[in-house]
Amino acid sequence: MLQCIFLLSDSGEVMLEKQLTGHRVDRSICAWFWDQADSFKSFPVIASPTHYLFQIVRDGITFLACTQVEMPPLMAIEFLCRVADVLSDYLGGLNEDLVKDNFIIVYELLDEMIDNGFPLTTEPNILREMIAPPNLVSKMLSVVTGNASNVSDTLPSGTGSCVPWRPTDPKYSSNEVYVDLVEEMDAIVNRDGELVKCEIYGQVQMSSQLTGFPDLTLSFANPSVLEDMRFHPCVRFRPWESHQILSFVPPDGQFKLMSYRVKKLKNTPLYVKPQITSDSGACRVSVLVGIRSDPEKTIESITLSFQLPHCVSSADLSSNHGTVTILSNKTCTWTIGRIPSDKTPCLSGTLALETGLERLHVYPTFKVGFKIMGIALSGLRIEKLDLKTIPPRLYKGFRAQTRAGEFDVRL
């Protein structure tokens, strides 16, 4: 049972406080947490002298939950993740200004998502029926009428159903269901060019506009590659456990059906070969970027960024393809786009060190970005999507894309 939730800014300011039970949690716990933040930065569960704390960080905002009683820690962490996802969906993003501008809606959402410390309604489609998302018209009406509440007077139509994530009887003239495989590649390449880590974090995202009460089954051609699966509550676990088939009654609209990992991949689609040499107060930089293994689809939106060391006083960098920008905070970004067929993109130039320094002792980490449409680099493939009762004028579609997550090349 959770007793309180705090939202903290990246400076430690308490932006929002929500007491969940009759036991009041004092704000001083936030000051204690922030004083110890460097020690507990990577710990999702923390034992303070008076409370158990659970934390996640999204876009610079720390979601902090407190309790004094024993409870499953994964439930608390999963609930905080749901809160962050719902707020991001409602507000169109997640940052300090958005939370402060819409704090009434944030409080209303928390009122519906948790009751007396226990998670209650966390399905975004149902919450949208209960609480209208913020827009310009609703804000103007609240100013004119003085009524700032966005809560509906009626319960969602699916509340009394055995599938509360779906309205009772939606109707569409055109029935559509689309499946997207969205994957992010996390990789670490060491100074010798060896691949230390390479894995995929993926999601199966769906958009469903189907009349009535559809029953779907989704199967993969090679489900054995999947690990660490997490399913939407609509998925029946027994068919997956026995036959690796996803059987479910989908929510209405867009939703995330499942997430997964694919570990220990052997290759990355791009190679990055950086070289930095320093002598007599100056550094020479050369970085090559090219295609390592052809994914049979165009690699787009290729970028390379790195932070110049603090001891660098000035930089003169240029490239034979793309554009190079250096910001005032010493962040250098090389925007490549697509790899040309007639040459290998190369970034080169010199860095001037501060007076008194002969050599560079701190080397940057290069962060790679890319996007590939039409392919899932994990090798996962959708075999078929079936409906038990096929409605008239049914349209089905499948897409896939892979983009870079935490792709680091270290020196």
Residue 63 has pLDDT above 90, yes or no: yes
State pLDDT tens for residues 225-276.
999 999 998 999 999 999 999 999 998 888 899 999 999 898 899 999 999 9
pLDDT digits (tens, 9 = 90+) for 201-219: 999 999 999 988 899 999 9
CATH top-level class of 270-373: mainly beta
Pairing of strands 394-409, 366-373: antiparallel
Other CB atoms within 10 A of residue 374 CB: 12
- CATH entry 2.40.160.40 includes domain 175-265+377-410: no
pLDDT band at 373 (very low <50, low <70, confident <90, very high): very high
Instruction: Give the side-chain half-sphere CA count within 13 A for 302.
Output: 20
- Give the pLDDT confidence of 275-313 residue by residue, as tens digits: 998 887 788 999 999 998 777 889 999 999 999 988 888
- The pLDDT confidence band at residue 160, using thresholds 50, 70 and 90, is low
Percent over 70 (pLDDT), the chain: 93
Cβ-proximal residues to 374 (8 Å cutoff; 6+ apart), any chain: 297, 399, 400, 401
For residue 152, is pLDDT > 70? no
Strands 253-262 and 195-209 come out as antiparallel
> CA torsion sign, 169 to 171 to 174 to 176?
negative
User: Per-residue pLDDT tens for 104-113?
Assistant: 889 999 998 9
Q: Which helix (H) or strand (E) holds 113?
A: helix 103-113
CA nearest neighbour of 293 among 335, 339, 260? 339
Q: Residue 98: phi, psi to the nearest 5? A: -65, -40
Residue 137, pLDDT score: 56
Q: Which of 28, 111, 116 is nearest to 64 (CA)?
A: 28
Region 36-40 average pLDDT: 77
Strand order in the sheet with 4-8: 14-19, 4-8, 61-67, 52-58, 45-47
How far is 30 from 23, CA to CA, in rounded Å? 16
Exposure string of 289-317, with b = 16+ CB inside 10 Å and e = fewer, is: beeeeebeeebeebbbbbbbbebbeebeb
The CATH number of 4-145 is 3.30.450.60
Res 138: pLDDT = 58
Q: Across all residues in the chain, what is the average pLDDT?
A: 88
pLDDT (average), residues 347-360? 86
Q: What residues does 359 pair with on adjacent strands?
A: none
DSSP 8-state assignment for residue 163: S
Under DSSP, the state recorded for 151 is B
Tens-digit pLDDT profile for residues 122-136: 888 788 888 888 766
CA–CA distance, 266 with 197 (Å, rounded to integer): 9
Token look-up 């067929």 returns: 341
Give the length of the chain. 411
Chain segment 65-80, per-residue pLDDT in tens: 999 988 999 999 999 9
Instruction: Tell me the longest C-alpha to C-alpha distance in the chain.
Output: 77
3-state helix, strand, coil in the chain (%, to 5): 15, 45, 40
Task: Using alpha carbons, list the distances in angstroms from residue 310 to 127, 353, 408.
Answer: 47, 9, 20
Count CA atoms closer than 13 A to 346's CA, side-chain side. 9
Contact criterion met (CB below 8 Å) for 326 and 396 = no
| Domain residue spans of the chain | 4-145, 175-265+377-410, 270-373
Same fold for the pair 175-265+377-410 and 270-373: yes
Tracing tokens 């996007």 back to the chain, one arrives at 371
154-172: average pLDDT: 71
Q: Bigger pLDDT: 6 or 155?
A: 6
